[in-house]
């Protein structure tokens, strides 16, 4: 498969980087065709520009994100690796969705502004790998997994309803033992070997 790995963590020595490296290695070993985009290392700007926003209901101005759009349209599978901060994705990843999953790229507006129409028909699988500092019960029982719900319901159901979502959350990651890190890497590898 054509696999796009998108990493969104500012620190080189983070668990997210370790898990992203494991993801890339696993997919390459399985002979998938891979592209890896590290949003921080590539200095991706998350801010939707005034010109981009003004073009949302006409012809979207993709001049500053053409490479990122090319990667998105190329992908049959996407692996997102990111931390969950304040029960949301980092601003840089949210900005990637705002600027790259744009109208006439990921979806079309209906002429009467009713339901939008999906365009990402090639995309079949999305695997989200996220780290959280909180315990599992806060994410699941108190907040009902907000990042997973937004990704599945608001983004994928709208832009790629045929794509399956696998969501891997790793909790209390600020104090993981080396055995727990190894277990997290093994879980990521096992999941991606099934692509």
Question: pLDDT tens digit string along 46-98?
Answer: 999 999 999 998 889 999 999 999 999 999 999 999 999 999 999 999 999 99
C-alpha distances (whole Å) from 37 to each of 41, 68, 80 are 8, 9, 10
pLDDT of amino acid 139: 86
Give the closest residue to 78 by CA, choosing from 46, 118, 34, 119. 34
CA-based torsion, 83, 89, 95, 97: positive or negative: positive
SS3 9: coil
Q: What residue spans define the domains of the chain?
A: 2-193
Options 3.40.50.360, 1.10.10.10, 3.30.9.10, 3.40.225.10; CATH for 2-193 is 3.40.50.360
98: exposed, middle or buried (C-beta count within 10 Å: 0-12, 13-18, 19+)? middle
89: exposed, middle or buried (C-beta count within 10 Å: 0-12, 13-18, 19+)? buried
Give this prediction's pTM: 0.96
- pLDDT tier for residue 115 given thresholds of 50, 70 and 90: confident
SS3 6: strand
Q: Which residue bears the tokens 């979502």?
A: 165
CA 39/CA 146 separation, integer angstroms: 22
């Amino acid at each position: 498969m054509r696999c796009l790995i998108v990493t969104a963590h500012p620190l080189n020595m983070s668990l997210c980087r370790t898990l992203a490296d494991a993801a890339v290695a696993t997919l390459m070993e399985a002979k998938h065709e891979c592209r890896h985009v590290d949003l921080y290392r590539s200095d991706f700007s998350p801010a939707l520009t005034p010109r981009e926003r003004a073009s949302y209901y006409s012809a979207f101005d993709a001049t500053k994100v053409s490479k990122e759009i090319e990667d998105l349209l190329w992908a049959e599978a996407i692996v997102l690796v990111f931390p969950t901060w304040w029960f949301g994705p980092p601003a840089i990843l949210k900005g990637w969705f705002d600027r790259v999953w744009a109208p006439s790229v990921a979806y079309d507006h209906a002429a009467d502004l009713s339901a939008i129409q999906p365009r990402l028909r090639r995309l079949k699988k999305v695997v989200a790998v996220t780290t959280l500092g909180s315990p599992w019960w806060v994410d699941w029982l108190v907040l009902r997994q907000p990042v997973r719900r937004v990704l599945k319901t608001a983004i994928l159901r709208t832009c790629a309803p045929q794509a399956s979502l696998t969501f891997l959350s790793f909790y209390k990651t600020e104090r993981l033992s080396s055995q727990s890190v190894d277990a997290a890497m093994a879980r990521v590898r096992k999941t991606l070997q099934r692509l």
